[in-house]
A = this chain, B = another copy of it.
Amino acid sequence: MHKTLEWHGSIDGSLDLLDQRLLPNEVVRLECTTVPRLIDAIKTLAVRGAPAIGVAAGFGLVLALQNVQPNINTAIRELARAKKELAASRPTAVNLFYALDRVNTAACQFTSQCPTASINQLREIVLAQAQAIYDEDVEMCRRIGQNGAPLIPDGGAVLTHCNAGALATAGQGTALSLLYEAARQGKRFRVYVDETRPLLQGARLTAWECKQAGLDAVLICDNMAGSLMKAGKINAVLTGADRIAANGDTANKIGTYSLSVLAKYHAIPFYIAAPSSTFDLSIASGTQIPIEERSPAEVTAFAGKTIAPTDIAVYNPAFDVTDAANISAIITERGIINDPDSDNIRLHLA
């Protein structure tokens, strides 16, 4: 299996990414040696998926200290600057802010506790913290899968949207981790994969990942999900999440909300699988989650070919918000939150 991202070497090393812009046609690795290169990789979706973006950003703070003057105060300022720049690379995923805060806080605590520490000692702390986030992500993925695998219907079919798989994390994914664990347990099921316009993460990434893992995967266009549900061919819908508000409202790839309504209408369970770091308890509900709008060209052009009139207006939000009321359960590394609301989410995270 191709690793989605990996730190190579010591504090002087680099972040090695699988370039997801080129999948499934080419498997090419991208070496990030500077913060600007990493920001570009995040913005252009060479690395994507909320957990993977968080892990990558943690290592980004290691990169931030590689060419800094050997002065602790300068280093701390440089970290703060890099943190701010990295945080601005994608506005919706909360894991990004979580990872940056965690690494930065560890660095600040270290320098205040050890004011005479060397710059290299600080860099070791930053790398260790970034690597810890990576390792925890791998473990988190495994646990999400184990917690949620019982929800996968043996002999049935699951619909997934976008890519919440190994390609979106350092480990074996969030939503897809349930499928990998269920398959390991001997369950047989089909995975319907939404192609996920406009950037086709389902067709390009999830279909590729599912085939690599030997799953029975069938690709569909996003607008076909409803008719499959009506035909009784889908037994569960399963997606990841980019941010979850305190009340359970969940931001995820555009199209997720529509699927949640269709699932509700057809009495099909709708599951979100995400690490507990995806919760943002600072916001009460989904209306407060900022939604990134991306370039019209993502919709109007494809593979260098224009597919719409060049002067047409376009609305291209990257995410939408699914009401907690439409979510049957949220699966985290800690367990399952059934019928999520503010109370049981607070209990789950306590």
Contacts and interface: CB of A to CB of B under 8 A. Distances in A.
A208 B91 CA distance: 33
A317 to B, nearest CB: 7
A321 B208 CA distance: 30
Interface in A308-350: 308-309, 311-317, 320-321
Interface string A216-229: 11111111111110
Contact of A303 (B196, B211, B299, B302): B302
Interface stretch (A6-14, A61-69, A116-124, A258-266): A258-266
B265 A219 contact: no
A2 interface: no
A296 to B, nearest CB: 8
B211 A197 contact: no
A257 interface: yes
Contacts of A255: 221, 223-224, 226
Contact of A211 (B217, B262, B311): B311
A204 interface: yes
Given A195-B197, A262-B258, A300-B219, A226 B320 contact: yes
A24 interface: yes
Nearest to A194: B223
Contacts of A306: 24-25
Interface string A258-288: 1001101100000000000000000000000
A46 interface: no
Contacts of A303: 302-305, 307
16 contacts: A193-B312, A197-B222, A203-B307, A203-B308, A207-B312, A219-B313, A219-B314, A219-B315, A220-B316, A221-B222, A221-B255, A221-B316, A225-B258, A226-B255, A226-B320, A227-B321
Interface of A: 24-25, 161, 192-198, 200, 203-204, 207-208, 211, 216-228, 230, 254-255, 257-258, 261-262, 264-265, 296, 299-300, 302-309, 311-317, 320-321
